[in-house]
Structure 1
Amino acid sequence: MEKVRPKKHLGQHFLTDLGIAEQIAQSVQGHLGVNQLLEIGPGMGVLTDYLLKLPMDLHLIEIDSESISYLHKKYPQLSGRIIEGDYLKQNLDEQLPERYAIAGNFPYNISTQIFFRVLEERQKVTEVVCMLQKEVAKRIASPKGNKDYGILSVLLQAYYDIEYLFSVPPEVFNPPPKVNSGVIRLRRNQTQKLDCNERLFFQVVKGGFGNRRKTLRNSLKSFQLPEELNTHPMLDLRAEQLDVEDFVFLTQQIEASRGNH
């Protein structure tokens, strides 16, 4: 079969190291008993070969039509389970009506957007095992108080337990990216719903990190914080010093004050 050309505009870097592909696949645990697995961006199926060995029903989603025709030839057994489309936009309710896990070597240029989509789908996505740019992987898994800690860290850690698994050097890809890669695993935690208005929580987290150097008193000015909260010592901190519970508390206070107006 003709090999697929990696396309720069799609951020494609095909993994060539089979040992790493196997390690990624073996990190998928079927968390919370799910048996549906979606691979995002399979390319030429290096990871797919190992995901097929798992006791799960595998679906593939790929945006590149050249890869799609290659995958159809390589995996006739996946007929009907190869989706041509963009994970960021595709409605998967028909193909994956139940809860599912995700695996993949994510294109670096859209990995952050993939995670925002995972957050939207958090009631269905129980687990994510993926490779992405090391900096982004470290950021997502980072605890509070760390300079890597940011918006995505807080939002994802609200609903997922996150582990940084291992690092991957550039030379095991074709073409080699200019950065190192990291593999992380997210597993859905017990939080079905936060103890506050979740939409407002997202806004408060984004507002808090809007200017990392400022204290929360300044970065959250536009939320018209209630007078009694203005003296709270938490507002002397910067966003990176707060964990999920702290942001939930702030959101509850803002919500309560709005209710009193």
Structure 2
Amino acid sequence: MKQVRPKKNLGQHFLTDLSIARRIADTVDACPDIPVLEVGPGMGVMTQYLVEKPRPLRVVEIDRESVDYLNNTLFKDVQENNPIIEGDFLRMDLRTLFDGGQFVLTGNYPYDISSQIFFKMLDNRDLIPCCTGMIQREVALRMASQPGNKQYGILSVLTQAWYNVEYLFTVEPGVFNPPPKVQSAVIRMMRNDVQHLGCDEQLFKRVVKTVFNQRRKMLRVSLRQLLPADSKLFTTHPDFLTLRPEQLSIQQFVELTNLVDEQLCATTI
């Protein structure tokens, strides 16, 4: 059967190096004994190694040509319980998979929607104790970055609030068809022990996004988008508010969220 044609509109860059494919597939072993969901299997270069593992596997693929290819190659002898789900991962109800149980999320993620995939992971963090896979190196660096680093940003804070992020290795463009214009990287995220942040989680996200949208400004400037100019916060915590968002730890963002919450409640009384 002829190979699948990579489609630019789907952000497809098919991995051709089998050794790297196996290395990525093996990252799921950090969280054994639960099923695996692979996003965007394409022609199954990673899938062929995932199916060897003694655990349930399902794959979700939006590209009809790729689905047909997998059905005629890797899964041609599967008579029932076909693991292929044809559809858009971003629109899926993940609680319908694996009888509502936990699973490892993995894949060679399309660069243009990788952040959306990880935000969906965060929304379903009780289902996904481990997430691995390959993304654009720049995004991987942001996700794993620590405070004080220029890559530290919204994705860093929101992800690290719930997961321990590990940058595993870099992948060069030449092992893809077609080669992307940027480097790629493989990461692994393991759910941490945090069950509640200790603040309003929706407001936490709002605060993080607000201050990082003006990341070069001090907090006292960017927070004026959330609080009135005469808010007591600007006078009671002057030193704290001279910091810039990239200097704050996760815990400091929690503290900041609680301070903002207090002021918002005060203005509505």
> TM class, shorter-chain normalised?
over 0.9
Partner of residue 95, structure 1: 97
2: distance between equivalents of 1:65 and 1:173? 20
Instruction: Flag the 1:228–1:91 CA change in 2: closer, same or farther, 3 A.
Output: closer
Q: CA-to-partner distance for each residue in 1:84-141, whole Å, 9 max, x for gaps?
A: 1111111132223111111100011111111111111111111111101100111101
Matched, 1:227 2:232: yes
Shift in Å at residue 54 of structure 1? 2.1
Q: CA-to-partner distance for each residue in 1:144-174, whole Å, 9 max, x for gaps?
A: 1100011000000000000000000000000
Partner of residue 237, structure 1: 243
Instruction: Flag the 1:123–1:34 CA change in 2: closer, same or farther, 3 A.
Output: farther
Shift in Å at residue 254 of structure 1? 1.5
Partner of residue 11, structure 2: 11
Partners of 1:34 and 1:126 within 8 A in 2:
no
Shift in Å at residue 208 of structure 1? 1.0
Partners of 1:34 and 1:99 within 8 A in 2:
no
Question: Which residues in structure 2 correspond to 1:1-261 (within 5 Å)?
Answer: 1-31=1-31, 35-73=34-72, 74-75=74-75, 76-77=77-78, 79-96=81-98, 97-224=100-227, 226-228=231-233, 230-232=235-237, 233-260=239-266, 261=269
Partners of 2:232 and 2:263 within 8 A in 1:
no
1: distance between equivalents of 2:233 and 2:20? 53
Q: CA-to-partner distance for each residue in 1:185-212, whole Å, 9 max, x for gaps?
A: 0000111221100000000000010111
Instruction: Flag the 1:124–1:139 CA change in 2: closer, same or farther, 3 A.
Output: same
Q: Which amino acid aligns with 2:176?
A: F
RMSD over aligned CA atoms reads 1.5
Instruction: Flag the 1:72–1:217 CA change in 2: closer, same or farther, 3 A.
Output: same
Q: How many residues align?
A: 260
Partners of 1:139 and 1:149 within 8 A in 2:
yes
Q: Which amino acid aligns with 1:249?
A: E
- Single out whichever of 229-238 and 199-208 deviates more from structure 2: 229-238
Query: Percent identity between the aligned chains?
Result: 50
2: distance between equivalents of 1:111 and 1:153? 14
Shift in Å at residue 258 of structure 1? 2.8
- Single out whichever of 4-13 and 20-29 deviates more from structure 2: 20-29
Computing the radius of gyration from Cα coordinates, the structure with the larger value is 2
Q: Which amino acid aligns with 1:241?
A: Q
Partners of 2:227 and 2:264 within 8 A in 1:
no
SS of the aligned residue for 1:112 comes to helix
SS of the aligned residue for 1:123 comes to coil
Q: Which runs of 5+ in 2 are unaligned?
A: none
Q: Which amino acid aligns with 2:97?
A: Q
Partners of 1:34 and 1:101 within 8 A in 2:
no
Q: Which runs of 5+ in 1 are unaligned?
A: none
